[in-house]
Amino acid sequence: MRTTYRVLAGLIAVLVVVQATLIVWAVAGLFFWIDEGETLDKQVIKGWEEEPPTFDGAIGHFLHAFVIGGGGGPLPTGLGLIPLAGLLLLIVSFFAKVPRGVALAAAVAVSIVVQIVVGINADAVPYIGLIHGLNAFILFGLALTAAKAAKNAATIQPAPAPAV
């Protein structure tokens, strides 16, 4: 179970990195598209799902939403890869016997919920996008800390019982 815990925590950290690369690819592609003379306006945004723009990286917007589970992809809000891995990590944490494992998994789960909520609401209140970016680093750090805790727990051997 410790290995499963470690793998899930590591997977979450990797998926956070994937998230960051996807959104940077999407935004860089969008800027290039605009520099080439295209226009991003309300009409483009309204028709985005039916007729997405064709710039390099446009798919990054959809993949970013899918990995975190913020909607905009084939799954409803909250049902992306990171939330699924976070839920599994929390469940496994009760059986993995990792020191502070349940607390770390719970912190990861809370950070995932915060990430989804602020990501969904950032278009209504753009300043909370700052929280979205900062929380990604927090989630990454928590996931790595959880993975390291599981790795360290696996290397610590219990002391032998005294002979009677």
* C-alpha distance from residue 23 to each of 2, 34, 57, 68 (Å): 32, 16, 8, 12
Segment 81-101, tens digit of pLDDT: 899 999 999 999 999 999 999
Indicate the residue type of 132: H
Residue 79 to residue 152: CA distance in whole angstroms: 31
Q: What is the pLDDT of residue 25?
A: 92
Q: What is the pLDDT of residue 93?
A: 96
Q: What is the pLDDT of residue 33?
A: 87
Q: What is the pLDDT of residue 66?
A: 73
Beta strands in the chain (DSSP E): none
Segment 116-151, tens digit of pLDDT: 889 888 888 889 999 999 999 999 999 999 999 999
Segment 25-63, tens digit of pLDDT: 989 988 998 888 888 888 887 877 787 777 888 788 778
pTM recorded for the entire structure: 0.82
Within 13 Å of residue 53, how many CA atoms lie on the same side as its CB?
A: 24
Q: What is the pLDDT of residue 50?
A: 80
Residue 147 to residue 2: CA distance in whole angstroms: 9
Confidence of residue 158 (pLDDT cuts 50, 70, 90): low
Confidence of residue 79 (pLDDT cuts 50, 70, 90): low
- Record the tokens describing residue 47, joined without a space: 């028709």
